[in-house]
Amino acid sequence: MSTAPSNNRLNRQQAESFLSSLSGHYYPNSSREFLSGTNDIQVPFRRIHLSETLHQPTPGVKLPPNEPVDVYDTSSVYGDPDATIDVKAGLKKVRENWIQQRHRESQQNNHGITQLAYARRGIVTPEMEFIALRENMGREHLENPITPEFVRDEVASGRAIIPVNTHHPESEPMIIGRNFLVKVNANIGNSSVSSSIEEEVEKLVWATRWGADTVMDLSTGRNIHQTREWILRNSPVPIGTVPIYQALERVNGIAEDLNWPVFKDVLLEQAEQGVDYFTIHAGVLHDFIKLTAKRVTGIVSRGGSIMAKWCMAHQQESFLYQHFRDICKICAKYDISLSLGDGLRPGSIADANDEAQFAELRVLGELTQIAWEYDVQVMIEGPGHVPMHKIQENMDEQLKHCHGAPFYTLGPLTTDIAPGYDHITSGIGAAMIGAFGCAMLCYVTPKEHLGLPNKEDVKQGMIAYKIAAHAADLAKGHPGAQARDDAMSKARFEFRWEDQFNLALDPVTARSYHDETLPQDSNKTA
Amino acid sequence: MSTAPSNNRLNRQQAESFLSSLSGHYYPNSSREFLSGTNDIQVPFRRIHLSETLHQPTPGVKLPPNEPVDVYDTSSVYGDPDATIDVKAGLKKVRENWIQQRHRESQQNNHGITQLAYARRGIVTPEMEFIALRENMGREHLENPITPEFVRDEVASGRAIIPVNTHHPESEPMIIGRNFLVKVNANIGNSSVSSSIEEEVEKLVWATRWGADTVMDLSTGRNIHQTREWILRNSPVPIGTVPIYQALERVNGIAEDLNWPVFKDVLLEQAEQGVDYFTIHAGVLHDFIKLTAKRVTGIVSRGGSIMAKWCMAHQQESFLYQHFRDICKICAKYDISLSLGDGLRPGSIADANDEAQFAELRVLGELTQIAWEYDVQVMIEGPGHVPMHKIQENMDEQLKHCHGAPFYTLGPLTTDIAPGYDHITSGIGAAMIGAFGCAMLCYVTPKEHLGLPNKEDVKQGMIAYKIAAHAADLAKGHPGAQARDDAMSKARFEFRWEDQFNLALDPVTARSYHDETLPQDSNKTA
């Protein structure tokens, strides 16, 4: 323990150095561009510039240029070479005006302020317009482009959510729904006693650099409030949390001592800070716990086991289930989305698709309809560990019981025999369930089941999941998703190596692998 | 170039050191065991020993021990701590007696010597019995175990092949068919001018350590014959080649100068050496070449482009197609299996499932029936680059047109945007097509499209593909496939860390990831 202070200083210095080095392009041959909507809507994206085709079929006849490829970008100012970053000041509040206007309207007309409330009333919010531009990436000329009205209709029907707390005006709107690009969530967390704002922001920036669409902050420890504040004020992506973790800290880690007033306090605290979605394990009912008795791996969800312990100790129905309408009222006030947790998800291939899992799923469907009564947006969390032939059933059951609410799954891992490579075992399952209609994939890093991920693990997990999400987008036929593949394939056929590197999900690695065996520049053009 | 000689010496020394270090266990807490069949049949496998469950539910009541897990093992003597390895002497000829007996029978009764010929005559060969034991791994008590008679019937119907040249008696029998475990092929190759027996054997051993079921030797250069000899005499797994590569060297790299006599000579040379299966691109017909004109990536198969060039230059039908019956006669004599190459496979998502690909596939179906006339075993090669929603169609078309012959695919890659990670983009496709019934998966390494794989790349490619194959085995419900997953899950639930590491596909990596964050021994038992 004697080395801890100097380690802390070193970590902080490294994070500061990382943040100060952010100015300048990270992705080669790319520029930061904006799609402009009505009023002040500005959607940032990355444009990858390509070189000319070298081999001219007819001498003197110039081929048309290779058009740049525009890509969805979650890095916000952290990927903008012209931006200056001040983590103590936080990000610009891009949604502030829109939120204020909705608050005024809501007070005048006594209606809800959530995106779902607006969508149901037939109103396209600036967030919806932003999202339509962002999902299309300027490819409105394609068949079936995403229109603002389509976004509104998907939100109104509950098939998609826009997780944006009114107290998180820094976030850039994004949408989670099966008729949009498949999204990826990265978990970050800090269980150490001491950290710094620079270290927490570094984790966030790192995850979004590799494409995280949302980030869940699973931090614990006594600085949990401060850590979350640092993250939220500097996050351009929606932030999710599992409030029961903080509630458990309030009662010194003793699950039996949890109760509704403690939990409600935590919800209000996090709501005020600007958390965009809450994972709530309200479907772990007292009667379902016995269904897990014969499992190989029992209850593996942390939230699920906390609630199971509480129910058993009190021989009562879960207070989350009992107070679900109270939870919805809080969410409605801030436009916080609910991510209904799967506390009984399977923790192994052996336990996949069992009655415990599906019993909880049916309750999550009931809770979805209750949340919708309050105009609260809802998504449903899913497993976990599922062999390939049982993945479709997961998606089918979710659609059947949860009334079309978006599905948000961890993996699923398709086998249990490869710890150290669970980004791959689960990337397979994630791609499949994404293609079947799962709206957001929670990433898994190579350290899953083994330890805490470091920066390299976060990167490896994110890349595996961006591959899975993109493979699913292709399979679903999302408008324009194939443009980047086609540009890469053409560059490959024409031996334009620089363009191949620049178009890659990870340009630096692609280039270094090529240079290992063919280092000369001449090998990059022919 | 001045450093080449010392590099060569260094490479050779490293390989020698690798081979000499092979004695002793590589996989921790494992032992080499054998399943005994009739006569001299001895099937090697690896037994992973597990520790006791620590947490006793009732004090004094001992729980039943955790049974060891037996796993299919392709490493042969290279994974046997009691074996001595002499690469100059080569491996023991385990199949020699069986082959001699079949030669005697064949001369007496004037019938074919291939496994297909025997299977059709209702005879279970020692190879078939070996395979039944190997596929079951001692799990004959399970529902639907693999019996020798089932193996025979699958071979007789053409749904499975046993690629074993009578001149490769060192090989341990294995089967490729959709009603068996999904197999993985690793490509190795050497294009440098100078190599050594130790280096070539090292590549082979390295690939089989990570589970390669067959190895394709894609070496080129003037030492091609010697290199192949080294590999074959030391290979316990079937070796495949693409004979057109060597034929092209014979004509100094000028595709137009190829002809049947040159090609036939190469086939005979390789047949005598013991090559177990030949990739032959006999389905690239003259008329099909124009179908590739509008593709984004044209013809990407090397064999395919050689044959296309030949057909265009001569304005004639492919000599491989014209002489296909002659090829079959050679294969029948040595029991060499045919792997009908997909010379027009798509090289990009844009080109997937197009008419060029399927036109060739239909011809491969015709050729399959011709090969079967000669009792020659056949499998069909497949793509390549296919988005997820078009994978099932590939499998369906192959089954429909190729009369049930096993499918053997490269990947397929499900997106083109992640060079550097194509073991993952393709691992997704490989797992899916494996679950749909593809019998063997040709691995892809992280260096695909970028450069030549090194040892670490080979390992990463193999692990991704063992994951894909195993995930597919689970999905297909292969008897006993889930035993390893279940043992892992139980170890995980009981916090038996050592058992988790030992059961992993890559025990060393699993352990090191765990130790990075929790180095103390006490963290491995509770």
What pLDDT shows up at residue A147?
A: 94
Cα B491 from chain centroid (whole Å): 31
Burial B384-422 (b: 16+ CB within 10 A, else e): bbbbbbbbeebbebbbebbbbbbbbbbbbbbbbbbbbbb
- pLDDT tens digits along A320-329: 999 999 999 9
Work out the burial of residue A315: count CB atoms within 10 Å of its CB; fewer than 13 is exposed, 13-18 middle, 19 or more buried: exposed
Instruction: Tell me the C-alpha to C-alpha distance, in Å, between residue A57 and each of A496, B193, B422.
Output: 16, 35, 31
- In whole angstroms, what is the distance from residue B178 CA to residue B181 CA? 7
Q: How many other C-beta atoms can be found within 10 angstroms of the C-beta atom of residue B457?
A: 20
Q: Any idea what the Cα angle at residue B161 is, between residues B150 and B178, rounded to 5°?
A: 65
d(CA B159, CA B372): 12
Residues of B in contact with A385 (CB under 8 A): 489
Among B389, B450, B506, beta carbon nearest to A435: B389
| A449 close contact with B: CB closer than 8 A | yes
DSSP A37: -
Q: Could you say which of A297, A435, A454 has the minimum Cβ distance to residue B492? A: A297
Question: Is A412:A453 a contact under the CB 8 Å cutoff?
Answer: no
**Cis (ω within 30 of 0) for the bond into A384?**
yes
* Dist CA B160 CA B157 (whole Å): 8
- The predicted model gives A439-445 an average pLDDT of 98
Residues of A in contact with B502 (CB under 8 A): none
Show Cβ contacts of residue B133 under 8 Å, excluding neighbours closer than 6 positions. B35, B37, B41, B43
**pLDDT (average), residues A163-177:** 98
Backbone φ and ψ of B409, nearest 5°: -115, 150
**Which residue of B lies nearest to A475 if distances are taken between CA atoms?**
B389
Asked if B358 is an interface residue toward chain A (Cβ–Cβ < 8 A), one would say no
In angstroms, the CA B57 to CA B59 distance is: 7
Locate tokens 């074959």: which residue? Answer: B232
Among candidates A417, A504, A506 on the partner chain, residue whose Cβ is nearest the Cβ of B504? A417
Q: State whether residue B493 sits within 8 Å of chain A by CB.
A: yes
Contact A232, A274 (CB under 8 A): yes
Neighbours of B79 (CB within 10 A): 22
* CA–CA distance, B165 with B276 (Å, rounded to integer): 5
Does ipTM exceed 0.90?
A: yes
Model confidence pLDDT, tens digit, residues B71-93 = 999 999 998 888 888 888 999 99
Q: CA of B502, closest CA in chain A: separation in Å?
A: 10
pLDDT score at A405: 98
Q: What is the pLDDT of residue B337?
A: 98
* Token pair listed for B497: 């860390």
**What value does the mean pLDDT take over residues A225-234?**
93
In the sheet where B42-48 sits, what is the strand order? B30-36, B42-48, B69-71
- What sections of A315-421 are H helices per DSSP? 319-322, 324-334, 355-373, 391-401
Query: Kind and range of the H or E element at B463?
Result: helix B455-476
Q: What is the pLDDT of residue B1?
A: 36
Helix spans in A137-196 (H): 148-156
What SS3 class is residue B160?
A: strand
Q: How far is CA B428 from CA A433, B389, B412, B415, in A?
A: 12, 12, 8, 10
Using CB atoms, which residue from B488, B506, B513 is nearest to A447?
Answer: B513
Q: Does A298 reach chain B within 8 Å, measured CB to CB?
A: yes
Cis peptide leading into residue A412 (ω within 30°): yes
Report whether pLDDT(A232) > 60. Answer: yes
Mean pLDDT of chain A: 93
Tell me if A444 sits within 8 A of A416, measured CB to CB.
Answer: no
Encode A439-473 in three state secondary structure.
CEEECCCCCCCCCCCCHHHHHHHHHHHHHHHHHHH
Please tell me if residue A297 touches chain B, with a CB cutoff of 8 Å: yes
pLDDT of residue A15: 84
Distance, in Å, from the CA atom of A432 to the CA atom of B392, rounded to the nearest integer, reads 13
Could you give the CA distance from residue B213 to residue B133 in angstroms, rounded to a whole number?
16
Main-chain phi, psi angles of B245, to 5 degrees: -65, -45
* pLDDT tier, B243 (very low <50, low <70, confident <90, very high otherwise): very high
| pLDDT more than 90, % of chain A | 79
Which of B442, B460, B239 has the alpha carbon at shortest distance from A446? B460
Calculate the alpha carbon distances from B274 to B20, B91, B277, B336 in Å. 26, 13, 9, 8
H/E stretch holding B340: strand B337-340
Of all helices (H) and strands (E), which one includes residue A503?
helix A497-503
SS3 A140: coil
B388 has pLDDT over 90: yes
Chain A contact for B503 (CB, 8 A cutoff): yes
pLDDT band at A6 (very low <50, low <70, confident <90, very high): low
Tell whether A420 is within 8 A of chain B (Cβ): yes
- Chain B residues with beta carbon closer than 8 angstroms to that of A518: 451
- Rg of chain B over Cα atoms, rounded to whole angstroms, equals 23
Inspect the interface and report whether the beta carbons of B296 and A449 lie closer than 8 Å: no
Beta bridge partners of B186: B215
- From the list A338, A164, A152, the residue with the least C-alpha distance to A236 is A164
Judge: B424–A472 Cβ closer than 8 Å, yes or no: no
Q: Tell me whether residue B311 is exposed, middle or buried, using C-beta atoms within 10 angstroms of its C-beta: 0 to 12, 13 to 18, 19 or more.
A: buried
3-state helix, strand, coil in chain A (%, to 5): 50, 10, 40
Of residues A359 and B77, which shows the higher confidence score? A359
pLDDT surpassing 50 at residue A1: no
**pLDDT of A525 strictly over 70:** no
What's the rounded Cα separation, in Å, for the pair A416 and B470? Answer: 10
- Which residues on adjacent β-strands are paired with residue A161? A176
CA distances from A64 to A31, A67, A496, B262, B316 (A): 21, 9, 15, 44, 35
pLDDT, mean of residues A106-127: 96
Residue B278 to chain A, least CA–CA distance (Å)? 27
Q: What is the pLDDT of residue A2?
A: 40
With a pLDDT cut of 70, the percent of chain A lying above it is 95
Written as six digits, the tokens of A493 are 């056929």
pTM to 2 decimal places: 0.96
Across the range B323-327, mean pLDDT stands at 98
pLDDT digits (tens, 9 = 90+) for B18-51: 887 776 557 899 999 999 999 899 999 999 999 9
Whether B217 and B239 have beta carbons less than 8 Å apart is answered as yes
Contacts of A152 (CB under 8 A, 6+ apart): A118, A119, A122, A123, A124, A125, A128
Lowest mean pLDDT among A99-103, A194-198, B122-126: A194-198
How confident is the model over A236-250, as pLDDT tens digits?
Answer: 999 999 999 999 999
Specify the 3-state DSSP secondary structure of B496: coil
Residues A449 and A420: their CA atoms lie apart, in Å, by 8
Q: How far apart (Å, rounded) are the C-alpha atoms in residues B172 and B176?
A: 13
- Picking from A70, A386, A414, A503 by the largest number of B CB atoms within 10 A of its own CB, the best residue to mutate is A414
Judging by beta carbons within 10 Å of its beta carbon (0-12, 13-18, 19+), is residue B350 exposed, middle or buried?
Answer: buried
A104 touches chain B (CB under 8 A): no
Question: CA nearest B345: which of B319, B381, B372?
Answer: B381
Residue B509 in this model has a pLDDT that exceeds 50 = yes
How confident is residue A426, by pLDDT bands cut at 50, 70 and 90? Answer: very high
Answer yes or no: do A296 and B490 touch at CB < 8 A: yes
pLDDT in tens, A153-169: 999 999 999 999 999 99
Which pair of structure tokens corresponds to residue B41? Answer: 């049949």
A305 CA: distance to closest CA in chain B (Å): 13
How far is Cα of residue A119 from the mean position of the Cα atoms in its chain? 22
pLDDT of residue A191: 62
Read off the pLDDT of residues A80-98 as tens digits, 9 standing for 90 and up: 888 888 888 999 999 999 9
Give yes or no for a contact between A162 and A128, defined as CB atoms under 8 angstroms apart.
yes
